Amino acid sequence: MTDLDLKEKLILVTGGAGFLGRQVVDQLVKAGANLQKITIPRSRDYDLREMDACQRVVQNQEIIIHLAAHVGGIGLNREKPAELFYDNLMMGTQLIHAAYQAGVEKFVCVGSICAYPKFTPVPFKEDDLWNGYPEETNAIGGIAKKALLIQLQSYRQQYGFNSIFLLPVNLYGPEDNFDPSSSHVIPALIRKVHEAQQRGEKTLPVWGDGTPSREFLYSTDAARAIVMATQKYNDPDPVNLGTHYEITIRDLVELICELMEFDGELVWETDKPNGQPRRYLDTERAKEKFGFTAHMEFKQGLKNTIDWYRQHPE
């Protein structure tokens, strides 16, 4: 099948004004899309938890890239699990149904790596997605997103609805969310180190014991992967998006401290949750099916993110 020509397509990008969304819009334009034909709905105008809003926003659209999500780190997951489940499920399931009803040509759904089981064999393969319950602190959002995968596969089977489901690993990069109440691990750590330096502190408290591992995908790489899949991939099977590079939280914290020139003592708060033990993806399907491999070297990506935050401290 030839690549989908984006040049004249009417494209809706939910979450298009967000951290990943701005990068996706930029990559769409680089891939030939007309910026004037890209619609970015704002939550103040379209509450995607309401079916009426979903039906209005999908009218006359040809491609939908669904990025909008209510997400955060372990803290938010523990504090507001009901909101996270409801918001993510309702936004996705109603938007998918409205898109099918409106005759949308292609639906691209971006899921969550939190959907994987807690003790998934490493590296995570897409075929292991259903072999167990997700890690408890991440389960709510992950299960809501997995439900959307089943919905898309069902609509494909019954209605021939062309849709794909992508599983990006933890994202990071400039313009990330650095709010400590809802940020993920890299922006949370960068802000924590920066504020410790500002206060002249000599210790840095860190949740957990540092043993879990994570994989991180630079936002520009993630956006490029999403656009490549939009153009080239049309199968029902979910696809991992990652770098095939794993780092422990301990090594991550030490690397951030090194890059930020913080020489204080790390204090591991072992009474706080670690989260999933390991997170490391098999990325062969993305490479095989639509030719994606990550470009950004991790240390350089961290430097870029740190530099951006220092120029835009909150």
pTM of the model: 0.94
Residue 285 pLDDT > 90: yes
- Residue 201, C-beta contacts closer than 8 angstroms, at least 6 positions apart: 264
For the record, the structure tokens of 30 come out as: 């680089």
Cβ 171 vs Cβ 219: under 8 Å:
yes
Give phi and psi for 209, each to the nearest 5.
-115, 0
Give the model's pLDDT for residue 77: 66
pLDDT recorded at residue 301:
98
pLDDT (average), residues 56-69: 96
Domain residue spans of the chain: 11-175+216-244+280-291
pLDDT > 70 fraction of the chain, expressed in percent and rounded = 97
> What does 278-294 look like in DSSP terms, one character per residue?
---B--HHHHHHH----
Tell me: the pLDDT tens digits for 245-269? 999 999 999 999 999 999 999 999 9
pLDDT in tens, 206-234: 989 999 999 999 999 999 999 999 999 99
Question: What's the mean pLDDT when you consider all of the chain?
Answer: 93
pLDDT in tens, 166-206: 999 999 999 998 988 777 889 999 999 999 999 999 999 99
pLDDT at 81: 85
DSSP class of residue 186?
Answer: H
- Nearest-Å Rg of the Cα atoms of the chain is 19
pLDDT of residue 236: 97
pLDDT attached to residue 1: 57
- CATH code of 11-175+216-244+280-291, in short, is 3.40.50.720
